[in-house]
């Protein structure tokens, strides 16, 4: 474990710091309890990488890859020559800060450095320094290139941004000593896959709309065919017995009829987690939304509702003698006969997305079945449980015979009326 916790040295559109809690909950316990290898084929700013390096001293080895050669060059320079890089960053920072309040000169300086960066003819340390400088001073930490692989992000509006973070660069350099670095297509990481290996994929996200695409991360777009090629790669890893986690945008949350990811990853396990949209020219369009977290192993196979909030549930909803709780019932045992259901509404995808995307154990109400385990109420919850690939759920059994037997008071009342 390193002495000081390393953290991402770049600002990054789509950085995964906010998903660390969900990532931690998703980790396969049988892998991380022993020595393991961590592989990240789309490393970006490395938020998950550094969290793993900081928190798992039993990590045997890490391997990172990215199609962005300048990004991997920056990682390599930090690992091998941090002091030279820091000297260059200090010069860039002092020069840029000295222009604060002189907007024309400041803007001219930024675009001069962007042009120099795009020439790609400086030595590796300077190219890495320019990469960090542009990242810290551009609009929202966005990395975007055109079809000629020229970086084209405009200058941001920051006042004296931190360009040279000595302590973190040195911590990152120390952390990277156990990390192997590759630059190229994600498929080249296949040869490093093993049974005690965990892959995390954070590819360029599928855009939620035509105007929200920030995935021109390389000169060749990561389009739907690339997303399918990545799915095929994940399927290959699955056959090898290698565990993986993948994140992407929840296009279905934007368009209820867009089943792209639900269809191509149908054989795997899809969860929806909360994230924040931080990249948009209009601040009013930034906010919370769902993202996908997909794995080739179940995150949970059972929702223990009754043991979590049984007392409260029954006080509020099931305080009559004809209700009987039953925990951990196999989904395969639950049968459907629509003639027995209290009402027969169609399954609404929007309702399912809301149940799954906003899942809260404390607010989950058990489905209702009869004593033969035929569904009486809760068809959306049952379908959601199936979509979440659960194996077991808690139910409440309604004894329909008790419902039809009149109580002594009802019998007396009926007799009196006669």
**From 29-43, 162-176, 183-197, 310-324, the region with the lowest mean pLDDT:** 310-324
- Assigned domain for 331 exists: yes
- 155: domain CATH number is 3.40.50.150
- Give the C-alpha separation, 183 to 69, whole Å: 6
> Across residues 160-164, what is the average pLDDT?
96
Task: Quote the Cα angle for 382-384-388, to 5°.
Answer: 120
Confidence band, pLDDT 50/70/90 cuts, at residue 414:
very low
pLDDT for the residue numbered 323: 79
Taking 80 as the threshold, does the pLDDT of residue 41 lie above it?
yes
Task: Write out the residue range of the structural domain in which residue 133 sits.
Answer: 17-295
Lowest mean pLDDT among 137-141, 289-293, 355-359: 355-359
Spatial distance between the Cα atoms of 92 and 163, rounded to a whole number of angstroms: 8
**DSSP-assigned letters across all residues of 15-65:** -SGGGHHHHHHHS-HHHHTS-EEEEESS-TT-HHHHHHHHH-TTEEEEEEE
- Looking at the structure, tell me whether residues 94 and 78 fall in a common domain: yes
pTM score:
0.77
Percent of the chain scoring above 90 in pLDDT = 56
202 belongs to a structural domain: yes
User: Is the domain of 172 the same as that of 309?
Assistant: no
Residue 252: inside a domain = yes
Q: Above 70 in pLDDT, residue 18?
A: yes
Alpha-carbon distance 23 to 25, whole Å?
A: 5
Q: What's the whole-number mean pLDDT along residues 13-21?
A: 82
Domain-terminating residue out of 280, 295, 310: 295
Among 295, 321, 340, the domain boundary falls at 295
Least confident segment among 23-27, 86-90, 340-344: 340-344
Residues 279 and 386 both lie in one domain: no
Q: Which residue has the higher pLDDT, 296 or 414?
A: 296
pLDDT digits 0-9 by tens, 251-264: 988 888 899 999 99
Mean pLDDT of the chain: 86
21, pLDDT greater than 70? yes
Give first-to-last CA distance, the chain, whole Å. Answer: 84
212 touches 44 (CB < 8 A): no
CATH classification at residue 336: 3.90.1530.10
Q: How many domains does the chain fold into?
A: 2
Do 245 and 309 reside in the same domain of the chain?
A: no
The verdict on 230 and 378 lying in the same domain is no
76 within domain boundaries: yes
pLDDT mean over 297-325: 70
The answer to the question of residue 288 being in a domain is yes
Boundary (domain end) residue, out of 227, 260, 295:
295
Q: Is residue 329 domain-shared with residue 235, that is, in the same domain? A: no
| Joined tokens for residue 135 | 């990242």
Helix pair angle (47-55, 166-175), 10° resolution: 70
Q: Is there a single domain that holds both residue 74 and residue 177?
A: yes
Q: Are residues 317 and 238 in the same domain?
A: no
Mean pLDDT confidence for 320-348:
83
Q: Is residue 349 predicted with pLDDT exceeding 70?
A: yes
pLDDT computed for residue 230 by the predictor: 98
Task: Based on the fold, state whether residues 287 and 315 are members of the same structural domain.
Answer: no
- Rounded-to-integer distance, Cα 35 and Cα 56, Å: 9
**What confidence score (pLDDT) does residue 411 get?**
45
**Does 4 reside within a domain?**
no
Residue 1 forms part of a structural domain: no
Mean pLDDT for the stretch of residues 148-164: 94
pLDDT band at 25 (very low <50, low <70, confident <90, very high): confident
Query: Greater confidence, 317 or 115?
Result: 115
- Does 93 or 360 have the greater pLDDT score? 93
pLDDT score recorded for residue 275: 77
Whether residue 329 sits in one domain with residue 396: yes
How confident is residue 326, by pLDDT bands cut at 50, 70 and 90? confident
Q: How far apart are CA 94 and CA 129, in angstroms?
A: 13
Tell me, yes or no, whether 255 and 314 share the same domain. no
Same domain as 119, residue 223: yes
Which residue reads 């993202």 in tokens? 291
Q: Is residue 306 in a domain?
A: yes
Tell me the average pLDDT across 119-139: 97
């Amino acid at each position: 474990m390193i002495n000081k916790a390393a953290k991402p040295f770049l600002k990054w559109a789509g950085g995964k710091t906010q998903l660390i809690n969900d990532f931690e909950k998703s980790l396969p316990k049988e892998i991380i309890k022993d020595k393991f290898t961590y592989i990240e084929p789309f490393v970006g700013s490395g938020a998950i990488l550094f969290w793993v390096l900081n928190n798992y001293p039993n990590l045997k080895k890490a391997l990172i890859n990215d199609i962005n050669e300048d990004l991997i060059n920056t990682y390599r320079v930090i690992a091998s020559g941090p002091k030279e890089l820091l000297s260059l960053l200090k010069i860039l920072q002092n020069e840029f800060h000295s222009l604060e309040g002189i907007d024309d000169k400041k803007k001219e300086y930024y675009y001069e450095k962007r042009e120099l960066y795009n020439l790609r003819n400086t030595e590796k340390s300077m190219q890495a320094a320019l990469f960090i400088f542009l990242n810290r001073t551009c609009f929202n930490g966005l990395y975007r290139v055109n079809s000629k692989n020229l970086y084209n992000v405009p200058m941001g509006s920051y006042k004296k941004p931190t360009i040279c973070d000595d302590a973190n660069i040195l911590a990152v350099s120390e952390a990277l000593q156990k990390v192997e670095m590759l630059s190229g297509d994600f498929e080249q990481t296949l040869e490093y896959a093993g049974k005690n290996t965990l892959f995390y994929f954070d590819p360029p996200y599928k855009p939620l709309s035509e105007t929200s695409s920030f995935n021109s991360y390389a000169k060749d777009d990561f389009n739907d065919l690339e997303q399918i090629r990545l799915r095929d790669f994940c399927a290959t890893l699955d056959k090898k017995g290698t565990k993986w986690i993948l994140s992407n945008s929840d296009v279905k949350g934007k368009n209820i009829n867009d089943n792209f990811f639900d269809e191509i990853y149908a054989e795997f396990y899809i969860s929806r987690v909360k994230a924040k949209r931080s990249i948009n020219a209009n601040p009013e369009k930034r906010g919370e939304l769902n993202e996908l977290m997909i794995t080739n192993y179940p995150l949970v196979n059972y929702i223990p509702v009754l043991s979590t909030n049984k007392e409260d549930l029954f006080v509020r909803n099931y305080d009559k003698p004809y209700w009987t709780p039953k925990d951990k019932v196999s989904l395969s045992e639950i049968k459907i006969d629509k003639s027995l259901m209290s009402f027969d509404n169609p399954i609404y995808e929007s309702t399912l997305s809301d149940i799954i995307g906003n899942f809260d154990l404390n607010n989950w109400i058990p489905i209702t079945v009869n004593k033969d385990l035929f569904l009486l109420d809760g068809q959306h919850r049952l379908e959601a449980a199936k979509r979440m690939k659960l194996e077991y759920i808690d139910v409440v059994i309604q004894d329909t015979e008790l419902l039809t037997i009149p109580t002594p008071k009802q019998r007396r009342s009926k007799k009196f009326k006669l």
